[in-house]
Chains A and B, each alone.
Chain A
Amino acid sequence: MRGAGPGERAREAREAVAECRAAYEALNRFTASYRQLVLGVGSSADGRRLRRALEDSGRRGFELSLGLRNQLLAELTEPGGRQEEEVKMELERIWVLCLSALEIFLQDLGRAHDLSQLFPLPSLAPETQLVNTGVTSFGPKGWSLRRPSGKASERARELPEELAQWGQRLEEMLVEMETKVNVPVWSVEATVDSPGAEEPSLEGSAGRSPRGCCARAPLRLQSHCIVA
């Protein structure tokens, strides 16, 4: 007889966490690639292809981020304290990672928008030239974005069309995320040892220490988060 109790739930929870992590990693990869694109706007690598790639990837990024957010929200707002401490900690960690990645993405989106206006491409007036930076191609070789994981893209909702609008929606989303869900950002501890720093990072090794005094207690108190 299969124990349909904690064992099963724990496995489900861990699977969900693994999915979230995969989705986050996709977002991470995407942010890095998007940044490469924006680096080229206005430079000698700019062109119609770059702009089109910017738009497409902006859209994909939006999908990714929406999907990840919804997934995380769904996991974090499971009613009751059904999840174990470890799972919850892991989810919070991913939540903070997601927020940070979104910030960077948002910043790059804004920059792309501003720069595209500074160097308006289709109607390039004879005076505005592109800046000769020495860079001639706009993207990495074999430029392609990984498809977002199935579940994440399913949960994405409708997308507004324009770049500026995305920026705005993303910003709103970010603010929502920061305020509505009660995850104290500063309580997340780094699990990665910081390489190259002079002093050994004490925090890195203490990454998995359970029951930090300040961090966990307040989280216990709120067993349900307010969802947008």
Chain B
Amino acid sequence: MTIKHQGQQYRPRMAFLRKIEDLVKEMQNPETGIRMQSQRVMITNIPHAMTGNDILQWIAQRLWIGNIEAQNLGNFIVKYGYIYPLQDPKNLILKPESNSLYRFQTPYFWPTQQWSAEDTDYAIYLAKRNIKKRGILEEYEKENYSFLNKKINHKWDFVIMQAKEQYKTGKERKKADRYALDCQEKAYWLVHRCPPGTDNVLDYGLNRVTNPNEDKKITIALVRKENMYYQQALMRSTVKSSVSLGGIVKYSEQFSSNDPIMSGCLPSNPWITDDTQFWELNAKLVEIPTKMRVERWAFNFSELIRDPKGRQSFQFFLKKEFSGENLGFWEACEDLKYGDQSKVKEKAQEIYKLFLAPGARRWINIDGKTMDITVKGLKHPHRYVLDAAQTHIYMLMKKDSYARYLKSPIYKEMLAKAIEPQETSRRSSSLPFRRRHLRSSPSPVILRQLEEEAKAREAANTVDITQVMSKLDRRSQLKKEIPPK
């Protein structure tokens, strides 16, 4: 309906359409345009037909381009529906022979930016053809027809009535005109509802939010906004392309052996051999990870921290060093950023109580300035309010704990225990009793529940430095209090 919902409702500017239109208009000139002939259909003569060769030559001459480029351009013009072929209507290319005929499409049927080819019109067209001769629709058209019947069922009465009317008025025209008009309409719908297997050349992606035809008045506010936009663009950090390209090359070299597509995977690619061992061995929190996975953790810190098993091992190590709260804080920040946003306030409060407040249970060590910024930001919490603190802690872990982790016995043990699976070849055989039964993997809902339970258990069991210290303090105090005998 005409009520347009807010948001994306504008078709993007398709500038090329205007250019083709200008060219097509020039083609009409009786002196400098394309030579016209008339087409003979049974007993009627329909004027204004052209041969493909003539069109090609005209384009090449007018634009001073070679034949290949003219052919390409001619193909475009036909594909977009400004010119349609008469003998082979479905094949939308420009055949440069002198016996292939074409005709211009009427401007009503030109593709434009403002008017899209509506479903209702298409339904009316299909209904019209059906009324003319039942069963003449092609397979894909029949499918479209039934689909539209369901989609705009409430308008169907209108569709049928209008189709009948249009058919009647169409019949009242001169025979030659009627033929030409039918060809035109058919060509239009071949472009705008193309048969399966052909490219939809008018596909432009999603509708846009702003109206490209809108004239933007130059006001102070607009100029100010543009200023701000460009200033921010200038402030963005830039990297020389040689540096970033070198980075990509290094990354590719390092990870090439780990990439299942580039270097194959062990035991075998499940998509090929139907053997799901690869997924089972590489599950998120599997008991014993694979060797490749553990080796990957040594590449850089982000690899370690993005792998849940790596995080688990790292957390174990950090607890031994009494800096477990760092990773805990980092994980809590990630949850705040990417988790349920309706609970942002509560989450931020909890994080403050647990990690940031003076005397908190798992107090993290960040510098005064960052702490100030964070505490101030927490007054109006949002997703990224803890970004500064999180970055600080991340850098701390990366520069400090990570190196020690890689040298630690925990990591070395993990590396030693890691398994290197044997390669398996194609296993699924045709004999039913030998075929491996494929079970579906556990439901993600259950997996998530298990994860949350594990997290809760972790949180309950966490040994906090402050508690330990306070316990030690109390014990030493008690010792002092017991009078020496």
Contacts and interface: CB of A to CB of B under 8 A. Distances in A.
Given A100-B155, A189-B153, A192-B157, A129 B165 contact: no
A151 to B, nearest CB: 21
Interface stretch (A59-67, A72-80, A104-112): A104-112
Interface residues of B, number: 64
B257 to A, nearest CB: 54
Contact of B165 (A31, A139, A186, A201): A31
A103 B2 contact: yes
B106 A107 contact: no
A190 B30 contact: no
| Chain A interface residue bracket vs B | 35 or more
A127 B26 contact: yes
B11 interface: no
B76 interface: no
Contacts of B127: 194-196
Contacts of B170: 36, 140
Interface stretch (B141-149, B329-337, B419-427): B141-149
Nearest to A118: B107
Interface stretch (B171-179, B362-370, B401-409): B171-179
A14 interface: no
Contacts of A31: 162, 165
Interface in A52-104: 93, 96-97, 99-101, 103-104
B354 interface: no
B154 to A, nearest CB: 4
Contacts of B25: 127-129, 131
A136 interface: yes
A132 B82 CA distance: 12
A42 B107 contact: yes
B180 A97 contact: no
B160 A194 contact: yes
Nearest to A97: B158
A149 interface: no
A174 B287 CA distance: 66
A141 B137 contact: no
A129 B36 CA distance: 14
Contacts of A134: 39, 46-49, 103-104, 176-177, 180
Interface in B36-57: 36, 39, 46-49
B177 A135 contact: yes
Given A31-B162, A131-B25, A174 B106 contact: no
A127 B115 CA distance: 26
Contact of B106 (A33, A39, A127): A39
A107 B33 CA distance: 32
A106 B3 CA distance: 13
Contacts of B24: 131
A53 B2 CA distance: 27
Contacts of A203: 149-150, 153, 156
Contacts of A169: none
B9 to A, nearest CB: 14
13 contacts: A93-B157, A100-B162, A103-B120, A114-B114, A131-B105, A132-B28, A137-B177, A140-B169, A174-B2, A175-B2, A190-B156, A194-B156, A198-B146
Top 4 A-B residue pairs of the complex, sorted by shortest distance between their CB atoms? A140-B172, A42-B107, A190-B156, A129-B28
Given A129-B30, A137-B174, A171-B2, 12 more contacts: A35-B166, A36-B169, A43-B106, A97-B157, A104-B120, A107-B118, A129-B28, A133-B106, A141-B172, A175-B3, A195-B131, A197-B149
